[in-house]
Amino acid sequence: MENTKQERLLEIFFRALRGEGLSVQRLADEYEVSTKSIGRDISDLKAFLTEHRELVGNTELTYSNQNKIYHLYMDEFLTNAELFALTEVMIGARAFSKEELLTLTNKLKVFTTATERPILNDLIRKELYHYAEIKHDCDSVQQVLWKLAACITEKKEITIEYYRADRARKTRRIRPASVMFTDNFFYLIAFNTEGTPDKPLYFRIDRINHITEHRKKFTIEDAPEFDEGLLRQRSLFMWPGKLRTIQFEFTGSAIQAVLDKLPTAKIIERNGRTYTVEADVYGDGIKMWLLSQGRRIKVIAPEDFVEEMKIEISKMNANYFGDFQGSPE
C-alpha cells in the first residue's frame, strides 16, 4: 500500500510511542522507500520534538549505535524497574483477577522504555504464572470500583446487592462516601440512608454483585463528615465497630513491626524488652490481630476490652483443652 509522507510519519511516530525500536533499513524495506527518505522522516520527527517542548516535554528519539535503532525516550515513561515494582505490588495485593492483571501489565508496558524489555517480559511472565487469584463475586473489580467512584463524586444514593463473609446475599440502600484499599482488598465506605446514618459501613468491593443508581442525591449535610486518612489509620480488616483507645504490652525485639501495623500506635513506656503501646482503633479487627501475636502481647486497657480479650482467649482455650483453664502438664 502506498503511503504519503504524512501518513508514514504518523505511523512511525506511533510505533515509537508504543515502544518499538526503529530500524532505518527495516522501515525503508517495509514502506518501500529509500533509507534516505526514512532518515529524513527521523530528522523531521526529531525537529518536531525539539521545537514543541511545551507540548511534548523532554521527549526525544535516541539512537543506539550497538543495535542501530532509534528509541523514543520520554520523561513520562515508566522505567522497567518501575513497572516491575508496580507489577510486584499488584501481584502481592491479589486484588484483581489474573485476566485483569495481565491486561493491566500489558497496557503499562506500552509506556516503558524498550531497552531490556525481554528481561522484563520474562520476569513478569514468571510472576503471573504463579499468581493465585481470589474468587470475586463481580465480573470486574475495576468496573465496579470506577462506577462507585462516579457515584461518590456525583453524590448519588445507590442500592447494592452483595455477599457477606458468611455468603448470605444482602441488599442495602446506602450513601457511598469513599473507597479504600487495605489488606489485599478494595473497600467501599458508606453510610445508611436511615437508621444510623452517622456510623460508617464497610463493603468489600469484589463482593458487590450489582449496583443500582438512584436519582436521589445527597448533600454534605446528609452524610457525616469523616477524615478518610484518619479512618484508614484507625481501621484494621475493615471491621465495623466503635472507636476506642487501647493500651497493650508488647514483649520482644520486633516493636517496629507493631508500629508499622498500627499507624496510630505510639510507645508510652519501655521496661527492658517490654513496651507499653497505645493506639486508636475502630472495630473488632484489632482483636484478631492482637490474638495472632500470642503471648508477646497483653492488653491492659480499657477494662472492658481486657474482658473481651479474656473471654475470647477462654473460648480459644476450650477449643483445645475443653473446660481446662490452665496449662497442660
- Per-residue pLDDT tens over the stretch 192-250: 887 666 777 889 999 999 999 999 998 766 666 667 777 777 776 677 777 899 999 99
- Per-residue pLDDT tens over the stretch 277-301: 999 988 788 998 999 999 999 999 9
Gap between the Cα atoms of 20 and 103, Å rounded? 19
Cell digits of residue 171: 441488599
243-321 and 5-73 share a CATH fold: no
- Closest-CA residue to 88 (of 138, 62, 123): 123
Average pLDDT rounded to a whole number, residues 91-102: 85
- Per-residue pLDDT tens over the stretch 117-174: 777 788 888 888 888 888 889 999 999 999 999 999 999 999 999 999 889 999 999 9
Least confident of 3-12, 61-70, 120-129, 192-201: 192-201
| Architecture in CATH of 243-321 | 2-Layer Sandwich (3.30)
pTM passes above 0.75: no
Domains of the chain by residue range: 5-73, 80-129, 141-226, 243-321
CATH tag for 5-73 (out of 3.30.429.10, 2.60.40.1930, 1.10.10.10, 3.40.462.20): 1.10.10.10
CATH 2.30.30.100 matches 141-226: yes
